[in-house]
Amino acid sequence: MNTEIPVISLQRLPIYLNYLKSLPAERTYVSSGSIAEALGMGEVLVRKDLAYTSAVGRPRVGYITKELISALEEFLCCNSRRNAVIVGAGALGKAILGYGGFHNYGIEIVAAFDSNPEKFGISIAGKHVYDIAEAESVLKKLKAELAVICIPAEHAQEAADRLINCGIRAILNFAPVLIKAPDGVAVRHIDVAANLAILSSMIEN
Amino acid sequence: MNTEIPVISLQRLPIYLNYLKSLPAERTYVSSGSIAEALGMGEVLVRKDLAYTSAVGRPRVGYITKELISALEEFLCCNSRRNAVIVGAGALGKAILGYGGFHNYGIEIVAAFDSNPEKFGISIAGKHVYDIAEAESVLKKLKAELAVICIPAEHAQEAADRLINCGIRAILNFAPVLIKAPDGVAVRHIDVAANLAILSSMIEN
């Protein structure tokens, strides 16, 4: 684990990476100042965040764009290859199964799980849907380390416990409930409704 | 806008609210210490966050659970009523149109927009899909203030500009690209692939 980098900095690395990849090929150099300006952040913050990677900026010219992209990709394990599974083949699970953006980060979605027998054995976006009761053997066979939970809140902890017991080491949880996991298992939570509520409370009246 | 509260604190308020709502009805009082312990946070942090709301804790007993829930709901505008639209009636847009969790926060998804003529006029989870070219009149008629962008990155900024011109005041963006908006328009970004990448980089090797 990149224990030295605060999560708050880690969260910004994909934003820098997306921005750098959007630059035209002729931008050989990029400065922390120009990144900061383009993304509406402070320059000191950008420089501090990037210092966690192996990229080295040069006085006056900044970073070599290609090198900085490589350093960020290395830090974010984009060149490694990790397998992920989706738990819950409902509407959200289907949307994530069909999303192509994981490849850029070296992540492949390899299968889905569901508890509804009608879904066992079907294929969504080319991915097989397995019975969640088979998680142990399937996860072992597919060498999956990451899981995305897309099931109702009341079943999320139970599913997480099962996945962790079967060797899953990181969970992205869409259920609107806090998932508890032992040390060594990373959990992130995306609550879509809460995000919209936060925005709503930011609207000026 | 609740300008006094840092976004980082605001982001935690729905987590407290979810937790408090999960408590049994007989828990008349709840202390910042017990909230902190249940959620794995620091007690000082919890107390500071809750101090932004109108809730007042009492020495030794803590907060009256009902009062704290009400204070959080008030802060998060759960009792107001705001309308939201979904832009992009693809797999993710459909999943969000069908999600029932927005009501708890006083938000109603009232319609969707798409640019594919085959989708104009259809209904998804009871919500009408309109031509994005009709945004101005539809948004006015439906009094929508929030929008959720679920379209590919290359069209996201254009869609956001159009929505903002039509009066949208807050945008939740699922496209993996930074959306620029003028002052007074709040934007939040959920990059699902980046979240999985962050988790991947947190796995201990």
- Reply yes or no on whether the pLDDT at B68 is more than 50: yes
Question: Higher-confidence residue: B78 or B1?
Answer: B78
pLDDT of residue A115: 96
The C-alpha atoms of residue A161 and residue B179 are separated, in whole angstroms, by 37
- Where along chain A do its domains lie? 7-75, 82-195
- Reply yes or no on whether the pLDDT at A3 is more than 60: no
- Reply yes or no on whether the pLDDT at B178 is more than 90: no
pLDDT of residue A37: 94
Name the residue among B114, B113, B84 with its Cα closest to residue B99: B84
- Domain B82-195 fold: Rossmann fold (3.40.50)
CATH number of B7-75: 1.10.10.10
Q: Is B4 on the interface with A (CB under 8 A)?
A: no
The C-alpha atoms of residue B191 and residue B197 are separated, in whole angstroms, by 10
Tens of pLDDT along A143-170?
999 999 999 999 999 999 999 999 999 9
Section B58-73 average pLDDT: 95
pLDDT of residue B17: 95
Q: Percent of chain A scored above 70 by pLDDT?
A: 98
Could you say which of B15, B78, B193 has the minimum Cβ distance to residue A178? Answer: B15
Contact between residue A177 and residue A156 where contact means Cβ atoms under 8 Å apart? yes
Contacts of B103 (CB under 8 A, 6+ apart): none
Section B99-119 average pLDDT: 95
Q: Is B154 on the interface with A (CB under 8 A)?
A: no
* SS3 assignment, position B98: coil
Residue of B nearest to A102 (CA): B193
pLDDT of residue A1: 44
B80, B96, B189, B202, best to mutate vs chain A, most A CBs in 10 Å: B202
Domains A7-75 and A82-195 share a fold: no
A204 CB neighbours in chain B (<8 A) are: 1, 169, 184
pLDDT of residue B96: 97
Section A174-194 average pLDDT: 93
- Give the pLDDT band of residue B189 (cuts 50, 70, 90): very high
A15 CB neighbours in chain B (<8 A) are: 178, 189, 191, 194
Q: Answer yes or no: do A199 and B188 touch at CB < 8 A.
A: yes
Could you say which of A77, A189, A199 has the minimum Cβ distance to residue B146? Answer: A199
pLDDT of residue A204: 74
Length of chain B (residues):
205
Tens of pLDDT along A4-38?
898 889 999 999 999 999 999 999 999 999 999 99
Name the residue among A171, A139, A137, A136 with its Cα closest to residue A156: A171
